[in-house]
Chains A and B, each alone.
Chain A
Amino acid sequence: MKELLAGPALFGAALAAHLVLWRVRLPARQTRALLALLAALPLGALAASALGVLPLPGIEGLAPHIEAGLFVLAFALAYIITYSGLEADSPTLVIVLAVDSAGSEGLPMATLDTTLSDERLLLPRLRDLLRDGLARMEDGRYVITPKGKRFVRIFSLYRRLLGLERKGG
Chain B
Amino acid sequence: MTVLAALAPALALGANVLSQIAIVRLRGGRGLLRSVFAGCALGAFALGALYLYADSSAGHAALGGLTYLALSYGYFHFINLGETARRIRLLRELRDAPGGLTYEELRTRYGARAMTRVRIERLLASGQIVERGGRYAIGRPVVLAMARAVRLAKRVVLGRESEFC
Chain A residues 1-36 with CB under 8 Å of chain B are: 1, 3-4, 7-8
Contact between chains at A100 and B144 (CB < 8 Å): yes
How many contacts between A and B, using CB within 8 angstroms? 247
**B34 interfacial contact with A, CB 8 Å:** no
Residue positions of A touching B, CB distance < 8 A: 1, 3-4, 7-8, 61-64, 66-67, 70-71, 74-75, 77-78, 81-83, 85-97, 99-100, 102, 104-109, 112-113, 116-118, 120-122, 124-126, 128-129, 134-135, 138, 140-144, 148-149, 151-152, 155-156, 158-159, 161-165, 167-169
> Shortest Cβ distance from B52 into chain A, in angstroms?
17
Query: With A95-B123, A106-B136, A159-B82 in contact, do A164 and B29 touch (Cβ < 8 Å)?
Result: yes
Residue of A nearest to B150 (CB): A93
Chief secondary structure at chain B's binding surface? helix
Contact between chains at B123 and A96 (CB < 8 Å): yes
Residue positions of B touching A, CB distance < 8 A: 1-3, 5-7, 9-10, 21, 24-25, 28-29, 32, 59-60, 63-64, 66-68, 70-71, 73-74, 77-79, 81-95, 99-103, 106-107, 110-116, 118-120, 122-123, 128-129, 131-138, 143-144, 146-148, 150-151, 153-154, 157-158, 162-164
Contact between chains at B95 and A113 (CB < 8 Å): no
Contact between chains at A169 and B84 (CB < 8 Å): yes
Which residues of B lie under 8 Å from residue A1 when comparing CB positions?
Answer: 59
Which residues of A lie under 8 Å from residue B154 when comparing CB positions?
Answer: 86
Chief secondary structure at chain A's binding surface? helix
Which residues of B lie under 8 Å from residue A109 when comparing CB positions?
Answer: 131, 134-136
Contact between chains at A63 and B3 (CB < 8 Å): yes
Contact between chains at A161 and B87 (CB < 8 Å): no
